[in-house]
Chains A and B, each alone.
Chain A
């Protein structure tokens, strides 16, 4: 089923929005375009064309932009077209119905990852690059985003594993040659083992270096705490710019913890809104407050919000309840209503977002907690796990004296590399043997 037929799928979410995009790939693209637009796209490749899409009965489905990419100059390497319909899920469903009504054999909805797969199959991307696309889309940290982008744009060779793959194929080739072609060249067991040790040392070093990097945080966690009704949720909403937390005058509406990730100046933050503390808490609020307390260990920085009504007693309670240390900023709220004489940051709900950000200065806070920003990793997480797996062989191989057993274990490592980089077969090994050593009489 996979890899046959012409496939289509939306590449934007099917929600009300300015546009919804569809991509079609396969040999029937031109035919579909002909049926859809009543015109021939054969010569109009890689240009965006404004056209009318026709229903089978001749009525117009939509008037929109279409681009045709001629094979092999497309994402998948096949004929591809992209259709940008108006962003109505209803039009989208009509378009999909139309595809079905065309009754073109093999035309079908793409499976997940199928476009990428075809691009791998047609050598548009390597296996690693396709994986990198996936990782970029589902990316968690900026540093690994940069790494995955590098793989995608520059190819497998920039993967931190690429030199290791070279090393292991060379090492395995030498071992193979030392067994199968003993009398053709001089092979030295000690030298081979030295290379094996070198290989594992290299794995260990890379692993160590990158594990610490990956463990390094690249997200700064900020928690808003303060008495009830001081304006925490109001600030939270302003920061995240969404009507997510419910803001109300009734005391204690934020009863659980809310959090949201935002990116400011290319830096990533996670902001936590909490239930306020007050003497008479409802059961759920108490629960929320407790939860916030627990979480406070993982928080980098606290914004302690207070207003004129806030008593010292309330603040002291906060210091007691949360793991604050010195990592906090005091923010005085409702400055439109109250006037303050302190040097603390003052805010109120009339500030626009830009002014607000100037005052709370998240960037400075980020720098304080996150040492290296945007460092580029040499590995992504799946590669780190892979390295750990390879290193499981280290002891067995280095302690072994029988070259045949070593070869057997090395073969397993090679198979693991196959899983990561695509198949390495005997012929690849022999190619290396015959180009590295003068074999044969």
Chain B
């Protein structure tokens, strides 16, 4: 019988990242998937990235992950959202060729030392609440020290087309009953819902009358390491629903699974079905539909914006009422999926289950949605498996809330749990100004090593960092008085303060020419943008640092005499928890599930107001 360090079950985004990082750290790793052809399949929309999502993806990238690299290799269209708002919230989004992505991913995995097992896991084997292996249909029992389960929405999945119900994970997958039983028996689960739009044949769309959305291939990629995208880039197109469409849908709401009352589970507020949009925002004249090509050679289009669970006939009818889709043909109709996910509060902070040692869960099974969120959890669970098996040490700071979106994700999931599929928004991060996609190499600096990067990548990072250091050093050696700056037409307070070049940078218009003229230093635009915002946000970083420092310094703050009820800004739930668990100090309080950092700040603030000494 084979003996592995790690077995990863499920080869979606979470599973791939988990297996990949374990392998890179030298663990003997197996990846179990029912079908090799499923490996790297994009199950939903053919795009990666966007605001919040890119943020997680770029962290996975710098942690040694693959989603961005393979994404760039397979991208056929780029857009950068929020470009006018500063890099903290830039969201590069790439349209991905499905076939290319799967092909590139399979090639990559097969070239690695990961052992790919085509089989179906039917049970998790444990002894004294500790993992000993996995039981598979064909291979039987396989031993392993760690198991990472990343099987997405397979748990008790149900698919709804109108009033038609089917049992399945995703189209073409049978729900794995045995494994589901094991999970349901051992962990608290909850029922979630998601939807998907129909897929339309490209040839049946009249593009001539639609507005194209060209690719903006402007040098901003998903991965830090990508230098260029050599694929042919193609357009997306925009169309809109209209009053006729709305009438068809409204008249047939009783034929929608989500509205006829068959589906009772919680849907996603930020991913509404077209039925939802019409019910909530009926006064609009039309809702945008983005026609996203599924690939260079694919004959399918993903119409983003009209996920629904209407009866098939009605779907076709409303589609054909839309401009450009009058003669459309449908390959696969839209549907709603209902599935169980594990309450993520069943997990420890390292994504190991509290009940079974060395058993990790990652991805959609934890109640999240999205490729990037899954990838982030996969690599997180993988890294912690590595740490658990003592193959590497981890600087825990990198996964604190104030340092990474993955940290925010993990903290939110394990402490607060979820009520709807969890998606990342930049506004979830208190420290948003700092958690930028263009500085992830700084935030994860302590984790960058030759173990996770090949020579080329490793050298590239180091070269860039050295260059940046050199420029910053030069900038810091330049000194300017308010008078000097006045002469250069820069308005600052006449406070007599001497500012160095780095401090002055924020007053400039950040173009490379300006920079060269002002400081007489050559710089590339990418780096300039990065350090310009470093300069601009420095005061805020300082403030944030202080409050987090305060949190750290006050970790031992005695709470035994504090009356939490006198702190008006704490929510009832938090109050109840504090009163129930009676943490002895701030550190303890922070470990209670549901206690947010902002709650901790409120406690410190309260103590300060009440005149107690606070560090």
Contact = CB atoms under 8 A, between A and B. Distances in A.
B272 A179 contact: no
Interface string B11-24: 00000000000000
A298 interface: no
Contacts of B425: 176, 180, 430
Interface stretch (B79-87, B109-117, B440-448): B79-87
Interface string B292-319: 0000000000001101000000000000
Interface string A400-441: 001111011001000100111011011001110011001111
A30 to B, nearest CB: 24
A180 B540 contact: no
A182 B84 CA distance: 11
A183 B571 contact: no
Given A180-B52, A426-B428, A402 B579 contact: no
Interface residues of B, number: 49
B269 A402 contact: no
Given A426-B427, A438-B287, A441-B305, A404 B51 contact: no
B305 A2 contact: no
Interface string B424-442: 0111101011000000000
Given A3-B579, A179-B51, A423 B570 contact: yes
Interface residues of A, number: 39
Interface stretch (B130-138, B180-188, B560-568): B560-568
A402 B569 contact: no
B52 A425 contact: no
B565 A419 contact: no
Contacts of B540: 405, 408
A261 interface: no
Contacts of A2: 563-565, 579
A349 B45 CA distance: 95
A440 B272 contact: yes
B385 interface: no
Contacts of B51: 179-182
Most A C-beta atoms less than 10 A away, residue of B271, B287, B430, B568: B568
Interface string B59-101: 0000000000000000000000110011011010000000000
A121 interface: yes
B contact face: mostly helix, strand, loop, or mixed: loop
Contact of A438 (B85, B280, B566, B598): B280
B433 A117 contact: no
A343 to B, nearest CB: 59
A438 B281 contact: yes
Contacts of B602: 418-419
A404 B88 contact: yes
A435 B598 CA distance: 25
Given A179-B426, A426-B427, A440 B565 contact: no
A4 interface: yes
A441 B536 contact: no
A441 B277 CA distance: 10
A411 B427 CA distance: 10
Contacts of B537: 405
Contacts of A3: 565, 579
Interface of A: 2-4, 111, 113, 117, 121, 127, 131, 176, 179-183, 402-405, 407-408, 411, 415, 418-420, 422-423, 425-426, 429-431, 434-435, 438-441
23 contacts: A2-B564, A3-B565, A113-B566, A117-B565, A127-B568, A176-B425, A179-B82, A179-B85, A179-B89, A180-B427, A181-B51, A181-B270, A182-B81, A402-B85, A407-B427, A408-B432, A425-B598, A438-B284, A439-B270, A440-B269, A441-B45, A441-B271, A441-B304
